[in-house]
């Protein structure tokens, strides 16, 4: 369980992966037949927003560019699939600086929005 997620989010992640109605895609990156990174995107019909979802990279590979490549790919795919949407991510204070480097802008911060000590950053990208 990465430090970037709360233990109680594990069930949410499992449920999200099992849902057939996620209206998006999920990708994994392999290195020597081992999953080293993953992440996806989705479309929320109610909010007319497309967003990045559940992105993570093995902590030993942070700084190697895998996360940047995967995120750029997901943004490109999301924009091609949902060209009229607003593009967003809900992330924590731990990864918001990474997404800022990718072009996302903080729109709202909710203290403890994911749980105690895990602040929710709602961010958008043009």
Cβ atoms 30, 41 nearer than 8 A: no
Q: How do the domains of the chain map onto residue ranges? A: 9-125
Residue 1 has pLDDT above 60, yes or no: no
Residue with the two structure tokens 């709202």:
108
Provide the terminal-to-terminal Cα distance of the chain, rounded to the nearest Å: 31
What is the torsional sign of CA 55, 61, 65, 69? negative
Instruction: Quote the CA–CA distance of 61 and 44 in Å, as a whole number.
Output: 31
Instruction: Kindly report the backbone phi and psi dihedral angles of residue 91, in degrees, each rounded to the nearest multiple of 5, phi listed first.
Output: -140, 180
Q: Provide the whole-model pTM.
A: 0.88
Looking at domain 9-125, which CATH architecture does it have? 3-Layer(aba) Sandwich (3.40)
- DSSP 8-state assignment for residue 22: -
pLDDT in tens, 66-85: 999 999 999 999 999 999 99
pLDDT in tens, 72-125: 999 999 999 999 999 999 999 999 999 999 999 999 999 999 999 999 999 999
Percentage of the chain beyond pLDDT 70 is: 96
């Amino acid at each position: 369980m990465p430090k970037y997620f709360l233990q109680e989010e594990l069930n949410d992640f499992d449920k999200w992966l099992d849902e057939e109605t996620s209206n998006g895609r999920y990708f994994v990156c392999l290195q020597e037949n081992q999953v080293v990174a993953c992440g996806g995107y989705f479309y929320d019909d109610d909010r007319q927003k497309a967003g990045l979802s559940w992105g993570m990279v093995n902590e030993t590979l942070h700084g190697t560019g895998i996360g940047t490549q995967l995120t750029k790919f997901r943004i490109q795919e999301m924009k091609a699939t949902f060209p009229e949407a607003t593009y967003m991510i809900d992330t924590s204070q731990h990864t918001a600086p990474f997404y800022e480097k990718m072009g996302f802008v903080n729109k709202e911060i909710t203290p403890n929005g994911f749980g105690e000590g895990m602040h929710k950053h709602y961010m958008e990208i043009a």
